[in-house]
Copies of this chain bind each other. A is one copy, B any other.
Amino acid sequence: MPSLIAARLAARLGRLTASRRVVVAAVARQRGHFTAEALAAGLPIVGRATVYRTLKLLTEAGVLCRVLMEDGSLHYRLSGPGHHHHLVCVACGTIQDFSGCDVNGMVAQLAKGKAFTVEGHWLEVYGRCGGCGGGAS
């Protein structure tokens, strides 16, 4: 996985510096999601500003995606390929991807009467995963 990220990075970004390697390696080690601040705190040898800059680059490169948690805080996680959304478990905090949504189509229908052209959307779904009491209903 790290090498895949590095390849994607190298294809999109400029220099693959030591600091960026450190950040990329740390990102690749993450299981689930993390905040920029937590990642920066775990990498004292890399400047905080550099961690933020690199996360931004990784997000723009499609390596990471941002997740809006229910409390309003912003997390990062390794991005699955293509357009997708997140199922956020409010009990344990785990996040699953899901794709195949037709929100744009649905919204475009609803927006027709409002003279509004849909260009994109942000959808996060909150609930409970199987291990936390979900999936039994």
A87 is contacted by which of B111, B124, B133 (Cβ under 8 Å)?
B111
Of residues 93 to 119 in A, which have CB atoms within 8 Å of B's CB atoms?
96, 98, 100-103, 106-107, 110-111, 114-119
Asked if A44 is an interface residue, CB under 8 A from chain B, the answer is no
Q: Are A101 and B110 in contact (CB under 8 A)?
A: yes
Q: How far is the CA of A136 from the CA of B68 in the complex (A)?
A: 32
A68 is contacted by which of B70, B101, B122, B135 (Cβ under 8 Å)?
B122
Q: How far is the CA of A118 from the CA of B116 in the complex (A)?
A: 28
Q: How far is the CA of A119 from the CA of B81 in the complex (A)?
A: 26
A75 CB, nearest partner CB in chain B, Å: 12
Q: How far is the CA of A120 from the CA of B120 in the complex (A)?
A: 20
Binary CB contact string for chain A from 49 to 80 against chain B (1 if under 8 A, 0 otherwise)? 00000000000000000101010101000000
Asked if A46 is an interface residue, CB under 8 A from chain B, the answer is no
Residue of B nearest to A99 (CB): B110
Q: Are B120 and A121 in contact (CB under 8 A)?
A: no
11 contacts between A and B (CB under 8 A): A68-B122, A87-B111, A90-B119, A98-B107, A101-B107, A115-B134, A119-B126, A119-B127, A121-B125, A122-B124, A123-B123
